[in-house]
Amino acid sequence: MAKVELKNIVRNYQAQLEDTALIEDKNRPALSNINLTIAEGEIVSVVGPSGCGKSTLLKVIAGLEFPDSGQVLYNDFDVTHVEPQKRGIGMVFQDYALYPTMKGQGNLHYYFEVHQRTQEEMDQRTREVAQIMGVGFDQLIGQNTTALSGGEQQRVAIARCIVRDPLIFLMDEPISNLDAKLRERTRIEIKRMLRKFKVTTLYVTHDQQEAIFMGDRIVVMRKGNIEQVGTFDELYYTPVNLFVATFIGSPPMSILPVSKQGNTLKIGDTSLEMLPISLEDGAYRLGVRSEGWELNNPQGVMMAVRHIERIPTEQASFIHGTVGGESVSVLAPLDQAQVSEIRVMPKWDQVYFFDASSEAALHTPSVPELF
Partner 1 sequence: MLFPKVGRKEPRLRFAWYTVVAILLVGIFLHLLPFYFMITTSFKSAAETFAIPPTIWPENPNTSAWEFIFNVTTANSTSAQVRDIMPQPIGIYARNSVIMVFGALAISLPVTAFAAYANSKLQSGRSARWFFLFFIGTLMLPGAVTLIPSFLLTRNFPFPLPQTPMIPGTENPFPTVRIWDTPWAVIIPAAFNAFNFLLFKGFFDTIPNSIIQAARVDGGSEFNIFRRIVFPMSIPVFAVATWFQFSALWDSFLWPLVVFQSSDQIPMSVAVYNLINRFASAGATNSQQAMMQSQAMTELLDAGIGWPVLMVLGILQTIPIFLMFLVCREYLLKGVRLRGLR
Partner 2 sequence: MEIQVRNLVKTFSSGDKTAVNGVSFDVHDGEFLVLVGPSGCGKTTTLRLLVGLEDVTSGEIRFGDRVVNEVRPKGRNVAMVFQDYAVFPHLTVFENIAYGLKSRGGMSREEIRTRVKKAAEMFRIDPLLKRKPRQLSGGERQRVALSRAMVRDADVYLFDEPLSNLDAQLRYDAREDILALHHEKRKPTVYVTHDQSEAMALGDRIAVMRDGKIKQIGTGTELYSRPANLFVAFFIGAPSINLFDVTLERDGSDIYAKNDALRALLPAEFTPKLEAYLNKPVKMGVRPEDMHVPKMAPFEVTEDNTIHATLNEIEPTATGCAAYLTTLEGDLDFVATFKLRLGSNYLGREIPLGMNMQQVQLFDAATEDSLLYPAGS
Q: In this structure, which amino acid lies at residue 178?
A: L
Least distance between partner 1 and beta carbon 60 (Å): 13
Whichever of 108 and 148 has its CB closer to partner 2, that residue is 148
How far apart, in whole angstroms, are the C-alpha atoms of residue 143 and residue 140?
6
> What's the gap between Cα 276 and its chain centre?
34
Whichever of 278 and 371 has its CB closer to partner 2, that residue is 371
Sheet holding 264-267, edge to edge: 270-273, 264-267, 254-261, 282-288, 352-355, 361-363
Q: Please, which of residues 153-182 interact with partner 1 by CB under 8 A?
A: 160, 164
Whichever of 167 and 319 has its CB closer to partner 2, that residue is 319
Q: How many chain residues are in contact with partner 1, going by CB under 8 A? A: 33
Least distance between partner 1 and beta carbon 114 (Å): 4
How far apart, in whole angstroms, are the C-alpha atoms of residue 155 and residue 248?
29
Q: Which of 8, 69, 77 is nearest to 36 (CA)?
A: 8
Our finding on whether 263 is near partner 1 (CB under 8 A) is: no
- Cβ-proximal residues to 219 (8 Å cutoff; 6+ apart), any chain: 36, 44, 45, 46, 47, 226, 228, 229
Our finding on whether 57 is near partner 1 (CB under 8 A) is: no
Contact residue for partner 1 among 8, 124, 139, 146 (CB under 8 A): 146
Using the rule CB under 8 A, give the single segment among 2-10, 74-82, 113-121, 280-288 that binds partner 1: 113-121
Least distance between partner 2 and beta carbon 252 (Å): 6
> What's the gap between Cα 20 and its chain centre?
20
Sheet holding 69-74, edge to edge: 31-38, 4-11, 69-74, 77-78
Our finding on whether 144 is near partner 1 (CB under 8 A) is: yes
How far apart, in whole angstroms, are the C-alpha atoms of residue 293 and residue 149?
44
Find the distance separating the first CA and the last CA of the chain, reported in whole Å. 36
Whichever of 201 and 364 has its CB closer to partner 1, that residue is 201
Residue 62 binds which of partner 2, partner 1, none (CB < 5-8 A, kind-dependent): partner 1
Residue 149 binds which of partner 2, partner 1, none (CB < 5-8 A, kind-dependent): partner 2
Contact residue for partner 1 among 98, 158, 226, 265 (CB under 8 A): 98
136: left (phi over 0), alpha (psi -120 to 50) or beta: left
Our finding on whether 250 is near partner 1 (CB under 8 A) is: no
| DSSP state letters, 100-149 | TTSBHHHHHHHHHHHTT--HHHHHHHHHHHHHHH-TTHHHHHTSBGGGS-
Least distance between partner 1 and beta carbon 63 (Å): 8
Contact residue for partner 1 among 100, 298, 312, 325 (CB under 8 A): 100
Residue 117 binds which of partner 1, partner 2, none (CB < 5-8 A, kind-dependent): none
Contact residue for partner 1 among 99, 136, 195, 281 (CB under 8 A): 99
Say if strands 217-222 and 200-205 run parallel, antiparallel, or are unpaired: unpaired
Residue 93 binds which of partner 2, partner 1, none (CB < 5-8 A, kind-dependent): partner 1
Residue 257 binds which of partner 2, partner 1, none (CB < 5-8 A, kind-dependent): none
3-state DSSP assignment of residue 208: helix
Q: In this structure, which amino acid lies at residue 354?
A: F
Binding stretches for partner 1 (CB under 8 A) = 14-16, 59, 62, 64, 83-87, 89-91, 93-95, 97-102, 110-111, 113-115, 144, 146-147, 160, 164
